[in-house]
Structure 1
C-alpha cells in the first residue's frame, strides 16, 4: 500500500508544527545518536529514501557528499525539501520508495529516516537497496520500534486524571497491518518484530554493524519537557549495516 497521507493539507500543517519540522535535526530526539551511526559523507554518492523536509539530504551535502538524491512520495514534502535546500545542489524525486529504480552500485550510502514502518514489502525494498549500493557501501535507517507499533492505538495507558501509567505491548508476534491515529488522521503502518527487521536486513545481503534504541538527550528533554517520557520505552529502532 502506497499511502500518501503527507499530502493531506490538514495532516501536513500539523506535521509542520512538530519540533523536528520547525527546528530541523537538532530538535529530533534521536539525532544525537543517529548522526554517530552515519559514515563519512565526503565525496560520497548518497540516496535518502523518504527524505521529508530534506534535513538529512542537507546534512549529507554539508558534510561533503558529492551527489545527494532525496526521494519522497509526498509532493508537499518534496516542495518543502527544495525550499529548505535551495542553495544546495540536491536532486529530489517524487515517487514511492517501493518504485525506486537506479543504476546498479550507484550509491555509497543509502539512508532512510522513519519511513520503513509505512512499507508493506520491506524485503523487496531492502533487496533493491542492496542492488543500488556499492559493495562495502553503508545502509543506515531508522523506523518506529516494534514496542511502539505492536498495538494500533500507539498510546499510553492513563489513569482517571490523565497521568501516564505505562506503555502497553500486545500482539507483538502478530506481524502486519496496524491502522493507527497520527496527528488526528488514520494512518496505515506495518508492525514487525525486532527479529523480523534484522533478519530482513541480513537476508538482503547486509552485515549488521550497529543497532540502537535511542533515548533523547538531556538537552532535548530540557528543551522539550514532554520528551522525558520517551525514556520509559523505545520509540525508534536504528540500524547501521554494510553491503557484503
Structure 2
C-alpha cells in the first residue's frame, strides 16, 4: 500500500531532482523500518483493511472532501471509520471521507487561509513541504495548481495516515509524503520553485542551519514560506527555554520577527518580509474525538492564557516569505 514507484518514475523527468534517486529509495526504506517503528506492521494492516470505495467527487481547492456518504454502504463506512481511528492521533486536517468527518487537533485549514494569500502563484510549480505531517497542506498546494508536491516528515505514522487518505484521493496523484527529514535531500539541490517550512524551526537545534538547508532546496528566484513560533520584541531578542515550552521538550529558539528576518538575510535570502502574525487560539488547536491527548488548553496557564504553564509567552505564530537569490 505504501508504494513510491510512481514518485521514482516522476523524478526521472525532473532533471534537478534526478540525482536524489541515488539515495532516496534507501532513505525511505530506513524511514519505514519496522526496527525503528514497532507499530508499523499494525499501521500497514490498517491500510490493507481499508474498504474499496470509489468516490463520486473530490474537493481539494477549498477544503479536503472525498466523495459522499451515498458512495459507500453503511457497512463500508463503519469499516472505514474503525480503521481510520486505529491511526489515532490525527493532528492536521480536517478531512471528510464519505461524510466521515476527521476532526483533527489542528484546524490546518485556518492556517492555510492565512498563509495561502502570501504564496506566489502555485500553478505548475514544484513544491516542497518540510515537516508536512500527514500531508493536509500538500493536498491544498496541489489543489492550488502545483505540478508536483513532495512533503517530508520523519514520522512513519503520518505516512500511514497520508496513504490511508491517498487511497481515496488518488494513488496516481503527484503528491507524496516521504518518511525523511530535510537532511535527506542532497546538498545545494536548488530544485524547488516553492518550499514551505511550517511549525518546524523552533524544533531545530540550529535554526541558521535549517534556514540554510531551506535556501539550498530552492532554485534561484524560488520562494520560501516560513511559519514558526516567535516572541514580541526587538532586533536581537530571542527566547531560549531552558526546559519545556507549552509542555514540549524538543524546542529551542523563539526569535522576535525582527531577529528572524535578520537570520533569513544572514543565511542568504532576499526580499524578506513578515506577512502575518497570529496568536494561536483554543479553537484552532484543541483535543477532539480524533486526538484525545492533551492540547493547547492544557499547555496554557489556566489563570492567564497569555502565558504557558511554564510562564513563557503564549504561542504567537509568524509567517514570513523570502526569496532565494
Q: What is the TM-score of this pair, normalised by structure 1?
A: 0.68
Matched, 1:175 2:240: yes
Structure 1 residues 204 and 173, CA, compared in 2 at 3 Å: closer, same or farther?
closer
- Name the count of aligned residue pairs: 203
- What residue in structure 1 maps to residue 263 of structure 2? 200
Q: Hey, what's the Cα distance between the residues in 1 that align with 2:243 and 2:253? A: 7
Structure 1 residues 191 and 102, CA, compared in 2 at 3 Å: closer, same or farther?
closer
- What residue in structure 2 maps to residue 115 of structure 1? 200
- What residue in structure 2 maps to residue 187 of structure 1? 249
- What residue in structure 1 maps to residue 181 of structure 2? 96
Instruction: Please say if residues 108 and 137 of structure 2, whose CA atoms lie closer than 8 Å, have aligned partners that are also in contact.
Output: no
1:240 Cα deviation after fit: 1.1
Q: Hey, what's the Cα distance between the residues in 2 that align with 1:15 and 1:198? A: 34
Matched, 1:43 2:128: no
Structure 1 residues 138 and 177, CA, compared in 2 at 3 Å: closer, same or farther?
farther
Structure 1 residues 8 and 206, CA, compared in 2 at 3 Å: closer, same or farther?
farther
Deviations 1:22-71 (A, max 9, x none): 45786554332212112211110000000102011101111121111110
Deviations 1:116-175 (A, max 9, x none): 21111121121122122011111002112235xx9xxxxxxxxxxxxxxxxxxxxx6453
Gapped regions of structure 2 (runs ≥ 5)? 1-36, 40-85, 96-101, 289-296, 298-304, 307-312
Bigger shift: 21-30 or 232-241?
Answer: 21-30
Q: Which structure features the higher share of strand residues?
A: 1
Instruction: Please say if residues 30 and 216 of structure 1, whose CA atoms lie closer than 8 Å, have aligned partners that are also in contact.
Output: no
Gapped regions of structure 1 (runs ≥ 5)? 1-6, 151-171
Deviations 1:75-124 (A, max 9, x none): 11122122223413212221223443366221000002212211111211
- What residue in structure 2 maps to residue 30 of structure 1? 111
Matched, 1:57 2:138: yes
Which structure has the greater CA radius of gyration? 2
- What residue in structure 2 maps to residue 163 of structure 1? none
Q: Hey, what's the Cα distance between the residues in 2 that align with 1:42 and 1:175? A: 39
Structure 1 residues 234 and 118, CA, compared in 2 at 3 Å: closer, same or farther?
closer
Q: Hey, what's the Cα distance between the residues in 1 that align with 2:201 and 2:183? A: 10
Structure 1 residues 65 and 96, CA, compared in 2 at 3 Å: closer, same or farther?
same
- What residue in structure 2 maps to residue 212 of structure 1? 276
Structure 1 residues 90 and 135, CA, compared in 2 at 3 Å: closer, same or farther?
same
Q: Hey, what's the Cα distance between the residues in 1 that align with 2:187 and 2:158? A: 21
Q: Hey, what's the Cα distance between the residues in 2 that align with 1:31 and 1:8? A: 33
Structure 1 residues 101 and 73, CA, compared in 2 at 3 Å: closer, same or farther?
same
